[in-house]
Structure 1
Amino acid sequence: MTVTGSLHSFDVSTGVDGPGTRFVAFLAGCPLRCQYCHSPDTWFRRSGQRVSADSLLTEVRRYERFLKVAGGGVTISGGEPLQQAAFTRDVLRGCKEMRLHTALDTSGFLGDRADDGLLDATDLVLLDIKSGVPATYRKVTRTGRLSPTVRFAHRLADRGMPIWVRFVLVPGLTDDRANVDAVADIAASVATVERLEVLPFHRLGAPKYSSLGLPFALADTPAPSEALLQRVHSQFRDHGLTVY
């Protein structure tokens, strides 16, 4: 019997969620409550549609030829896909059977749920490191701990798996020099990290909070200035990281 999961939505995008043009499946449900989250509508599984792995793979097959020609593949995102590890594993396996490049977009907080079968079907991990100072990580996520992400990163490296680290730069929240250096130290200690992407904070998700009747903690926070972006990029490069 095929495994079922809660799917919030899917999209086809270029240059955002891995190499090439990607079919991106956004799963519903996440244990973290990041202050800067732009998709609060994916926090709960009940916000998604119950689908089987086979039915999602049928949707992927509609784009299979195009994805291959475009040098892309499939990314499983969220929410947090490792909250639905069995479903994620079966979808990734099906994509590999189609010979599509696969990527897993995760915070790593639930990394212990990713069994070897899931990782065997994954070509690339997009690892969101929310912060490098544990107290700041807790402040950002409101519910999470940093150590599971670090443990997961080193497990991936031990398997020789490519990692793209992602870090959201939020003025007044994640931009402290010590916090940035701590993220850099973590990334630089993981041998298979290929690049680090600095994602500037934005408020595009604010209307979703309003429609859900939720407060948006960063409603008055500006996007990072060019000077701040340059400083943070420089900090990461000083640790020998390839920065985007």
Structure 2
Amino acid sequence: MAIGRVHSVESFGSVDGPGIRYIIFLQGCNMRCRYCHNVDTWDIDDVKNYNEQEASALLDQAERYRSYWGKEGGITVSGGDPLLQIDFLLELFRQAKERKINTCIDTSLNPFSREEPYFSKFQELMTYTDLLLVDIKHIDPEKHRWLTGRDNANILDGIRYLDSIHKPIWIRQVLVPGITDVDQYLYQTREFIASLSNVQKIEVLPYHTLGLYKWEELGMKNTLADVEPPSAERTERAQKILRGEPIR
């Protein structure tokens, strides 16, 4: 029986998938995004930041709020990156489907691999998954490595795989002035998105500094601490570029 390392939960999520959702944040992430607002979820072995839970117990908790979900709601598993705990995620979603619960994964796809045994597990997981929210951190490989500490080749490969199996995704882009908020990179990202047929929605998430206190509490230096959030105009422009809408 797989046991999940659960960082926290949110009972009434309204921005992480369709409808009202029960959000489950799992511990562990391999990336080190400079703008991360959940740095306390990075270390998968940090026992101070997670509780071990079984899938059935977690779903029992979630279903207490089922009357609020409506036709579109359900559960979203986020992180960290939930794909690091794929064995637990498989069991959780398998049981969720037995209960007829809508399932969504919020992921960077960094753990994605076509190597076995991971790939077979991922393929099975997709049979129980209704939607994925996929964060494109940066389209440029070198900039991506600077921003996250990791390459993006397997991430883009993972998105293409999801397209090949017609699995619905929402694309998300955090807009950081001077880093991801650069027209050249936005147009490159748009070109990549335009090559896909499974994208249901594109969301631009303006960079914010709400999570800086966590960096300070952990004694970590945040290199983007002095970066201001993007203006409403820049956010709107980025949205239009990524969605392929005309710029006036």
Instruction: Please give the TM-score of this superposition, normalised by the length of structure 1.
Output: 0.92
Displacement of 1:60 in angstroms is 1.8
User: Is residue 125 from structure 1 mapped to residue 124 from structure 2 by the alignment?
Assistant: no
What SS class does the counterpart of residue 153 from structure 1 fall into? helix
| Aligned-partner residue type, residue 13 of structure 1 | F
The 5 Å alignment of 1:149-228 reads 149-228=155-234
Given that 2:13 and 2:23 are in contact with CA atoms closer than 8 Å, whether structure 1 keeps it comes out as: no
For residues 87-132 of structure 1, the C-alpha deviation after alignment (integer angstroms, 9 at most, x for no partner) is 0111111111111111011101112245222111100010011011
What SS class does the counterpart of residue 125 from structure 2 fall into? helix
Cα 1:171/1:66, change in 2 over 3 Å: same
Look up the match of 2:41. Answer: 42
CA distance in 2 between counterparts of 1:30 and 1:117 reads 22
Given that 1:81 and 1:88 are in contact with CA atoms closer than 8 Å, whether structure 2 keeps it comes out as: yes
Look up the match of 2:94. Answer: 93
Given that 1:188 and 1:239 are in contact with CA atoms closer than 8 Å, whether structure 2 keeps it comes out as: no
Count of residue pairs brought into register by the alignment: 237
> Once the two structures are aligned, what percentage of the paired residues are identical?
36
CA distance in 1 between counterparts of 2:60 and 2:86 reads 19
CA distance in 1 between counterparts of 2:230 and 2:81 reads 26
CA distance in 2 between counterparts of 1:43 and 1:127 reads 18
Given that 1:132 and 1:181 are in contact with CA atoms closer than 8 Å, whether structure 2 keeps it comes out as: no
What SS class does the counterpart of residue 220 from structure 1 fall into? coil
| Aligned-partner residue type, residue 238 of structure 2 | V
Moved more, 53-62 or 117-126: 53-62
Given that 2:9 and 2:24 are in contact with CA atoms closer than 8 Å, whether structure 1 keeps it comes out as: yes
Look up the match of 1:138. Answer: 145
Displacement of 1:201 in angstroms is 0.3
Look up the match of 1:61. Answer: 63
What SS class does the counterpart of residue 5 from structure 1 fall into? strand
Displacement of 1:182 in angstroms is 1.8
Look up the match of 2:78. Answer: 77
What SS class does the counterpart of residue 110 from structure 2 fall into? coil
CA distance in 2 between counterparts of 1:118 and 1:11 reads 23
Given that 1:11 and 1:24 are in contact with CA atoms closer than 8 Å, whether structure 2 keeps it comes out as: yes
User: Is residue 109 from structure 1 mapped to residue 116 from structure 2 by the alignment?
Assistant: no
Displacement of 1:239 in angstroms is 6.8
What SS class does the counterpart of residue 111 from structure 1 fall into? coil
Given that 2:13 and 2:22 are in contact with CA atoms closer than 8 Å, whether structure 1 keeps it comes out as: no
CA distance in 2 between counterparts of 1:123 and 1:108 reads 16
CA distance in 1 between counterparts of 2:169 and 2:222 reads 30
Displacement of 1:213 in angstroms is 1.0
Moved more, 145-154 or 55-64: 55-64
Unmatched tracts of structure 1, length 5 or more: none
Displacement of 1:70 in angstroms is 6.0
| Aligned-partner residue type, residue 171 of structure 2 | V
